[in-house]
């Protein structure tokens, strides 16, 4: 069932993930008055903290 158009699907996933996160980054930059790099760090750390359990050990 795996698709041969992996590149296209990955591109789609990547764009979807990016469009959602771009808005969040802009909001963090505005509300916390930080630059993009700092906003990215804050968001990434928030994601990591909420991602506690591993799928395989």
- How far apart are alpha carbons 31 and 22 in whole angstroms? 14
Site for other proteins in 1-57 (CB under 8 A): 1-4, 6-7, 9-18, 20-22, 25, 36-37, 40-41, 43-44, 47-48, 51, 53-57
Between CA 35 and CA 22 the distance in angstroms is: 13
Q: Report in angstroms how near the CB of residue 33 gets to other proteins at its nearest.
A: 18
- Catalog residues that contact other proteins under the rule CB under 8 A: 1-4, 6-7, 9-18, 20-22, 25, 36-37, 40-41, 43-44, 47-48, 51, 53-57
């Amino acid at each position: 069932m795996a698709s041969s158009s992996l590149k296209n699907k990955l591109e789609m996933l990547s764009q979807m993930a990016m469009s959602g996160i771009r808005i969040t980054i802009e909001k963090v930059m505005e509300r916390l008055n930080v630059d993009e790099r700092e906003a990215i760090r804050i968001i990434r750390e928030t994601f990591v903290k909420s991602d506690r359990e591993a799928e395989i050990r």
